[in-house]
């Protein structure tokens, strides 16, 4: 019997791609689909997916929940559960095209909801915590139900299949957004479950990732101390939770969090000025368990823009490019050139050097840290 | 020779064709085994006194000597084995408690040997430490949950830390239990390799003061050698509550070992027994421990980490958790295979639990309580090689202490007779004729070599797992698999079985 993802840990290789328009101009799906399809050989048909920001601008005040159900009872139970904690404005099946993928598809529904203020107050939580708590209880406690995404004005569309087929299945040509992420997966055995495909999302974050983190066990046990339940057993899930812990809960500047994930080597720290040396000693000793060790390239999307980064010794590929207002990142240069033949600038970010591309009128709420000046290349 | 019913344990074989009668063996043996017989004009051996320390064998210039276990045995009996019978003879003769040196040698399972390490292939590349940095730096001390940034960088004071270049330290061995030369060797090696040594409960002799900034100074139930000056001169303070080799009892340095130097360093009268009581007489409960921790912190102005060392006993997880809550900045857990200068045999062999299980239980408990990241965990008691270190860290330790392994590096041959004070290798003795046998310069080089060799091996194993910083291995039990273990043991260790 195939062990479902979450019950086993499945190593995978992958293709990742992302585009953002920094003026928030809506883009159709064709660009991102071209990019990810060009890297067809980096996936093996066992997982593909997309995230798009700006796709539900008419409903941007509502949290958009994308749900997978494996049974009608899972759906009934989830809807009952949601009606306790949310005001459900609209619900509908997500439209799909019958192209073969439907054979193994779960029921796929979306809901536009607002949390019930009375419940939030009752539980004495912030709105964000309330959403996270609800999502986690659905995923953990309702068998056969899985929340694929739950942010505002964004959505994740994922499946077991090649990414180009996934795009076709979800009729992505009908959506537009200012930021797109894509993922093609090459797991080493069958995940057999749509929930395990990327992107992985939490609140406003969505993450696509290529790699196998050898620090996973340490990262996971660290997260568990802070109440995160790593039910999927995937690196992507752990990375997303780490971001949430460091940036949202611990209020670290985003850049600091990224630099903790791919911390400078002690040798490099030894060459810094005394003030920074001290800072890094503190950061590395407090956040050693958040260091992501082993090969990865990740692209993180959020409503503020896009972040891309490699592990600190660059064991996985990542290329970035800028063309006027658009920023592209991908596993391969060819994927970028396929949609933008002559970018203004194209480069290979160094190991551990984050690429940040923020959208206009929205300087990051996460702030920036003087610590990281010079370590980070902010796209301008 | 005393009349005894116990026969010699060893047989000395001297090849008379090779022996040149140089009498090196006679001079080397502090037990008086070898003797030149004037009447018969030949070398004779009193095998009953031989402890099998190999000193004569190693020093014989013509390799004429060998020592083997005596083939003489009692009638085969699965219940009454040779040691069981001989121990009764000894007790019938003396009426005393049986003493032993070094750690538990009974054939209990060694869990390190039932744990296998992981290596990366294909889906994840291994890292070659000769080409890429692999980092072992480790900080021992209390850590806050999070770091607050202000306009001036990190806000608030950061708690003091020990900074280790290799996650290994030399464990507590007092001057008195080991020779000054042996202690000096370890102290120098610690300075040279960027690690720390522990002076044990015996004060700091003036000759090791220069290495005090790399010393963990111990405060044990006897309070020997403790003064404000002593506390302030070390890099960290360790309150010794228990020791793996003899949980539940104190220590006893016989008066014969308390010569002028030991007397001065311990601040006790010449020739008196130095007795460390079983409990600290000011710690009868957890809140008392908290008071001692904070009085030591007060005395040293919160500039040094203060740790607590406990023996691995049945409810070690609860004791560990209590000690962390009482304010310990680091916790040392000493397993039942830990060495000692002297321990009652029954206690050494029957009390306590293996460090592997204790470590797994403590790390899990502290994580369940959400406090593991705030404290450092150091484990001791039977760490034999770099693979044991890697396994300990994967189970959840920050660093390990080595005692026996460090003494073996100085020449100890594990004869387990440390309590007799006649160590032929010049280690567990204060006899000036014998202590000369350890040259601190040579000793320091050997101990430092051991640490360097282990560091290389740890880097290689880490690189193989695709890890380039030791903190990514800490508590990362996914890199371990159990072999030949039952379901309950796997559950306690929280590791999967090999093949899973
Ligand atoms: S040391 Fe060796 S050669 Fe010298 S007397 Fe002893 S046995 Fe003979
Ligand atoms: S230190 Fe000396 S007495 Fe103790 S076991 Fe080693 S060699 Fe024997």
* One-character DSSP codes across A216-268: HHHHHHHHHHTT---TT--HHHHHHHHHIIIIIIS---HHHHHHHHTPPPHHH
Give B288-304 as a DSSP string.
HHHHHHHHHHHHTTT-S
- Please state, in angstroms and rounded to a whole number, the distance separating the CA atoms of residues B53 and B170: 23
B214 Cβ partners below 8 Å, 6+ apart? Answer: B187, B190, B191, B195, B196, B197, B235
The residue with tokens 């790390």 is: B363
B41 Cβ partners below 8 Å, 6+ apart? Answer: none
CA neighbor of B346 nearest in space, from B171, B173, B175, B90: B90
Q: Is the Cβ–Cβ distance between B280 and B221 less than 8 Å?
A: yes
Three-state SS at B117: strand
Two tokens, residue A309: 């980064």
Instruction: Please give the average per-residue pLDDT across B310-314, as a whole number.
Output: 97
pLDDT over threshold 60, residue A1 = no
Structural domains in chain B plus CATH codes: 10-100 (3.30.70.20), 138-493 (3.20.20.70)
**What is the number of other CB atoms lying within 10 angstroms of the CB of residue A171?**
15
Q: What pLDDT was estimated at residue A193?
A: 76
Which tens digits make up the pLDDT trace of B1-52?
A: 457 899 999 999 999 999 999 999 999 999 999 999 999 999 999 999 999 9
Residue of the nearest CA to atom 1 in ligand 1? Answer: B60
- Please state, in angstroms and rounded to a whole number, the distance separating the CA atoms of residues B316 and A360: 56
Task: Return the residue of B nearest to A227 by Cα.
Answer: B370
CA neighbor of A330 nearest in space, from A30, A36, A24, A27: A36
Q: What pLDDT was estimated at residue B479?
A: 96
pLDDT over threshold 80, residue A335 = yes
Among B32, B45, B62, B424, residue to substitute to test ligand 1 (most atoms within 8 Å of Cβ): B62
Binding residues of B for [4Fe-4S] cluster: 19, 22, 25, 29, 50, 53, 56, 60
- At residue B148, what are phi and psi to the nearest 5 degrees? -100, 135
Q: Are strands B330-334 and B376-380 parallel, antiparallel or unpaired?
A: parallel
Which tens digits make up the pLDDT trace of B66-111?
A: 999 999 999 999 999 999 999 999 999 999 999 999 999 999 999 9
Name every chain B residue with its beta carbon within 8 A of the beta carbon of A212: 123-124, 466
Q: What pLDDT was estimated at residue A47?
A: 84
**Shortest-distance ligand to the CA of residue B414:** 2
Strands (E), B151-248: 153-154, 162-164, 168-170, 197-198, 215-219, 236-240
The CA dihedral of B140, B142, B143, B145, to the nearest 10 degrees, is 140
Q: Between chains, do B367 and A224 touch, taking CB under 8 Å as contact? A: yes
- H/E stretch holding A1 reads none
Binding residues of B: 19, 22, 25, 29, 50, 53, 56, 60
CA neighbor of A335 nearest in space, from A35, A112, A13: A35
Q: Between chains, do A293 and B468 touch, taking CB under 8 Å as contact? A: yes
Give B319-353 as a DSSP string.
HHHHHHHTT-SEEEEE-TT---S-EEHHHHHHSS-
Residue of the nearest CA to atom 7 in ligand 2? Answer: B412
The residue with tokens 């406090």 is: B371
State the distance from the centre of ligand 1 to the C-alpha of B209, rounded, in angstroms: 40
Among B16, B26, B60, residue to substitute to test ligand 1 (most atoms within 8 Å of Cβ): B60
Q: Which of A288, A290, A315, A317 to mutate to test the interface with B (most CBs of B within 10 A)?
A: A288
Instruction: Please give the average per-residue pLDDT across B424-442, as a whole number.
Output: 96
Which tens digits make up the pLDDT trace of A40-71?
A: 888 887 889 999 999 999 999 999 999 999 99
- Please state, in angstroms and rounded to a whole number, the distance separating the CA atoms of residues A247 and A262: 15
Question: Which protein residues are within 6 Å of ligand 2, measured from CB?
Answer: B 53, 101-102, 407, 412-418, 423, 425, 427-428
Name every chain B residue with its beta carbon within 8 A of the beta carbon of A224: 367
Residue B17: CA atoms inside 13 Å, Cβ hemisphere, count?
0
Give the pLDDT band of residue A123 (cuts 50, 70, 90).
confident
Name every chain B residue with its beta carbon within 8 A of the beta carbon of A287: 147
Which tens digits make up the pLDDT trace of B206-223?
A: 999 999 999 999 999 989
* Least reliable range by pLDDT among B145-159, B350-364, B368-382, B476-490: B145-159
pLDDT over threshold 50, residue A367 = no
Instruction: Please give the average per-residue pLDDT across B142-152, as a whole number.
Output: 85
Q: Is the Cβ–Cβ distance between B257 and B421 less than 8 Å?
A: yes
**Shortest-distance ligand to the CA of residue B412:** 2
- Please state, in angstroms and rounded to a whole number, the distance separating the CA atoms of residues B426 and B419: 13
- H/E stretch holding B148 reads none
Does ligand 1 have an atom closer than 6 angstroms to the CB of B65? yes
Which pTM does this prediction carry? 0.92
Q: Which of B156, B373, B390 to mutate to test the interface with A (most CBs of A within 10 A)?
A: B373
Task: Return the residue of B nearest to A253 by Cα.
Answer: B149
Which among A212, A217, A252 has the least Cβ separation from residue B124? A212
Q: What pLDDT was estimated at residue A13?
A: 67
Q: Is the Cβ–Cβ distance between B152 and A279 less than 8 Å?
A: no
Q: Are strands A176-177 and A27-28 parallel, antiparallel or unpaired?
A: antiparallel
Residue of the nearest CA to atom 3 in ligand 1? Answer: B19
Q: What pLDDT was estimated at residue A364?
A: 46
Task: Return the residue of B nearest to A266 by Cα.
Answer: B135
Tell me the nearest-neighbour CA distance from A187 into chain B, angstroms.
9
Instruction: Please give the average per-residue pLDDT across A142-165, as a whole number.
Output: 94
Q: Between chains, do B147 and A252 touch, taking CB under 8 Å as contact? A: yes
pLDDT over threshold 90, residue B327 = yes
Three-state SS at B160: coil
Tell me the nearest-neighbour CA distance from B329 into chain A, angstroms.
14
pLDDT over threshold 70, residue A206 = yes
Task: Return the residue of B nearest to A188 by Cα.
Answer: B123
The residue with tokens 């900045």 is: B329
B387 Cβ partners below 8 Å, 6+ apart? Answer: B112, B117, B457, B461
- At residue B295, what are phi and psi to the nearest 5 degrees? -70, -35
The residue with tokens 């022996």 is: B19
pLDDT over threshold 50, residue A378 = no
State the distance from the centre of ligand 1 to the C-alpha of A256, rounded, in angstroms: 68
Q: Is the Cβ–Cβ distance between B103 and B245 less than 8 Å?
A: yes
Which tens digits make up the pLDDT trace of A255-304?
A: 899 999 999 999 999 999 998 999 999 999 999 999 999 899 999 999 99
Give the pLDDT band of residue B318 (cuts 50, 70, 90).
very high
Interface contact B373, partner A, CB < 8 A: yes
Instruction: Please give the average per-residue pLDDT across A324-341, as a whole number.
Output: 95
Q: Which of B478, B481, B494, B496 to mutate to test the interface with A (most CBs of A within 10 A)?
A: B478
State the distance from the centre of ligand 2 to the C-alpha of B429, rounded, in angstroms: 9
- H/E stretch holding B88 reads helix B82-94
Interface contact B477, partner A, CB < 8 A: yes
Name every chain B residue with its beta carbon within 8 A of the beta carbon of A216: 476, 478
Q: What pLDDT was estimated at residue A3?
A: 52
The DSSP symbol for B175 reads B
A223 Cβ partners below 8 Å, 6+ apart? Answer: A230, A238, A241, A242, A245
Peptide bond preceding B390: is omega within 30 degrees of 0, i.e. cis?
A: no
Q: Is the Cβ–Cβ distance between A336 and A38 less than 8 Å?
A: no
- At residue B261, what are phi and psi to the nearest 5 degrees? -70, -50
In chain B, positions 149-178, which contact chain A (CB-CB < 8 Å)? 149, 153-154, 158, 161, 163
- Among residues of chain A, what percentage have pLDDT more than 70? 90
Q: What pLDDT was estimated at residue B104?
A: 95
Three-state SS at A43: coil
- Please state, in angstroms and rounded to a whole number, the distance separating the CA atoms of residues B200 and B195: 16
Q: Relative to the CA of B65, which ligand 1 atom is closest?
A: 7
Two tokens, residue B281: 């007489």
The DSSP symbol for B48 reads G
Q: Which residues of A are marked as active site?
A: 14
How does the average pLDDT of chain A come out, rounded? 88
Residue B495: CA atoms inside 13 Å, Cβ hemisphere, count?
34
State the distance from the centre of ligand 2 to the C-alpha of B114, rounded, in angstroms: 28
Which tens digits make up the pLDDT trace of B407-431?
A: 999 999 999 999 999 999 999 999 9
Establish whether this prediction's ipTM goes over 0.95.
Answer: no
Instruction: Please give the average per-residue pLDDT across B443-469, as a whole number.
Output: 97
- Among residues of chain B, what percentage have pLDDT more than 90? 85
- Please state, in angstroms and rounded to a whole number, the distance separating the CA atoms of residues B379 and A37: 52
- Please state, in angstroms and rounded to a whole number, the distance separating the CA atoms of residues B412 and B405: 9
Interface contact A294, partner B, CB < 8 A: yes
pLDDT over threshold 50, residue A374 = no
């Amino acid at each position: 019997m195939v062990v479902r993802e979450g019950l086993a840990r499945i190593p995978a290789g992958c293709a990742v791609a992302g585009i953002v328009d920094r003026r928030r101009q809506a883009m159709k799906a064709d660009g991102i689909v071209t990019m990810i399809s060009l890297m067809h050989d980096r996936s093996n048909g066992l997982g593909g997916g997309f995230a798009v920001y700006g796709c539900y601008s008419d409903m941007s005040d509502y949290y958009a929940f994308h749900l997978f159900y494996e049974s009608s009872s899972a759906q009934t139970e989830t809807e009952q559960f949601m009606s306790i904690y949310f005001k459900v404005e609209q619900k509908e099946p997500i439209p799909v095209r019958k192209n073969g993928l439907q054979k193994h598809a779960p029921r796929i529904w979306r809901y536009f909801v607002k949390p019930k203020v009375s419940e939030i107050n009752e539980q004495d939580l912030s709105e964000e915590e309330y959403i996270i708590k609800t999502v986690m209880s659905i995923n953990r406690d309702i068998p056969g139900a899985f929340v694929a995404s739950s942010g505002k004005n964004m959505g994740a569309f994922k499946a077991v299949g090649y990414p180009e087929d996934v795009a076709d299945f979800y009729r992505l040509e009908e959506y537009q957004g200012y930021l797109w992420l894509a993922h093609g997966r090459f797991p080493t055995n069958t995940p057999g479950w749509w929930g395990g495909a990327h992107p992985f999302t939490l609140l406003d974050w969505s993450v696509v990732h290529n790699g196998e983190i050898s620090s996973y066990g340490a990262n996971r046990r660290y997260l568990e101390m802070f109440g995160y339940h790593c039910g999927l057993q995937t690196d992507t899930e752990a990375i997303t939770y780490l971001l949430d812990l460091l940036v949202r809960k611990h209020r670290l500047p985003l850049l600091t969090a990224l630099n903790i994930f791919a911390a400078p080597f002690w040798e490099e720290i030894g060459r810094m000025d005394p003030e920074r040396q001290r800072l890094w000693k503190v950061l590395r000793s407090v956040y050693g368990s958040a260091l992501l060790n082993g090969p990865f390239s990740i692209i993180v999307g959020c409503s503020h823009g896009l972040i891309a980064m490699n592990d600190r010794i660059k064991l996985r590929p990542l290329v970035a490019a800028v063309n006027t207002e658009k920023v592209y990142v991908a596993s391969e240069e060819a994927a970028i050139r396929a949609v933008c033949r002559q970018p203004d600038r194209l480069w290979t970010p160094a190991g551990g050097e984050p690429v940040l591309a923020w959208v206009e009128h929205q300087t990051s709420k996460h702030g920036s840290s003087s610590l990281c000046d010079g370590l980070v290349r902010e796209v301008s | 020779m005393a009349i005894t019913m116990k026969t010699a344990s060893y047989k000395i074989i001297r090849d008379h064709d090779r022996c040149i009668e140089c009498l090196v063996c006679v001079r080397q043996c502090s037990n008086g085994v070898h003797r030149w017989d004037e009447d018969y004009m030949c070398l004779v051996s009193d095998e009953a006194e031989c402890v099998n320390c190999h000193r004569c064998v190693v020093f014989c210039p013509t390799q004429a000597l060998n020592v083997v276990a005596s083939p003489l045995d009692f009638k085969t009996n699965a219940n009454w084995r040779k040691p069981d019978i001989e121990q009764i003879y000894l007790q019938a003769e003396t009426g005393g408690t049986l003493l032993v040196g070094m750690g538990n040698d009974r054939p209990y399972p060694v869990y390190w040997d039932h744990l296998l390490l992981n290596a990366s292939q294909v889906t994840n590349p291994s890292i070659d430490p000769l080409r890429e940095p692999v980092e072992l730096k480790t900080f021992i001390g209390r850590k806050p949950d999070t770091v607050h940034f202000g306009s001036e960088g990190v806000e608030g004071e950061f708690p003091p830390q020990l900074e280790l270049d290799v996650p290994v330290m030399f464990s507590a061995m007092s001057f008195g239990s080991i020779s000054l030369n042996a202690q000096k060797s370890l102290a120098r090696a610690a300075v040279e390799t960027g690690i720390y040594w522990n002076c044990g409960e015996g004060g700091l002799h003036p000759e090791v003061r220069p290495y005090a900034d790399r010393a963990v100074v111990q405060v044990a139930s006897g309070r020997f050698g403790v003064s404000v000056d002593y506390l302030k001169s070390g890099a960290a303070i360790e309150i010794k509550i228990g020791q793996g080799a003899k949980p539940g009892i104190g220590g006893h340095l016989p008066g014969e070992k308390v010569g002028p130097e030991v007397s001065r360093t311990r601040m006790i009268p010449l020739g008196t027994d130095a007795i460390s009581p079983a409990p600290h007489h000011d710690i009868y409960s957890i809140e008392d421990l908290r008071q001692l921790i904070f009085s030591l912190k007060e005395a040293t102005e919160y500039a040094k980490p203060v740790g607590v060392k406990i023996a691995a006993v049945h409810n070690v997880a609860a004791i560990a958790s209590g000690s962390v809550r009482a304010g310990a900045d680091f916790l040392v857990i000493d397993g039942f295979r830990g060495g000692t200068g002297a321990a009652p045999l029954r206690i050494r062999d029957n009390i306590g639990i293996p460090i592997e299980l204790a470590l797994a239980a403590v790390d899990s408990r502290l994580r369940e309580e959400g406090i593991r990241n705030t404290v450092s965990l150091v484990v001791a008691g039977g760490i034999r090689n770099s693979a044991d270190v890697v396994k300990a860290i994967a189970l959840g330790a920050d660093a390990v202490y080595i005692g026996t392994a460090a003494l073996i590096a100085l020449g100890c041959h594990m004869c387990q007779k440390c309590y007799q004070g006649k160590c032929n290798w010049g280690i567990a003795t204060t006899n000036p004729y014998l202590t000369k046998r350890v040259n601190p310069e040579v000793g320091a080089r050997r101990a430092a070599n051991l640490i360097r060799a282990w560091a290389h091996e740890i880097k290689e194993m880490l690189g193989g797992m695709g890890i380039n910083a030791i903190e990514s291995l800490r508590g990362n039990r996914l890199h371990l698999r159990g072999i030949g273990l039952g379901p309950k043991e796997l559950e306690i260790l929280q590791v999967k079985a090999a093949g899973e």
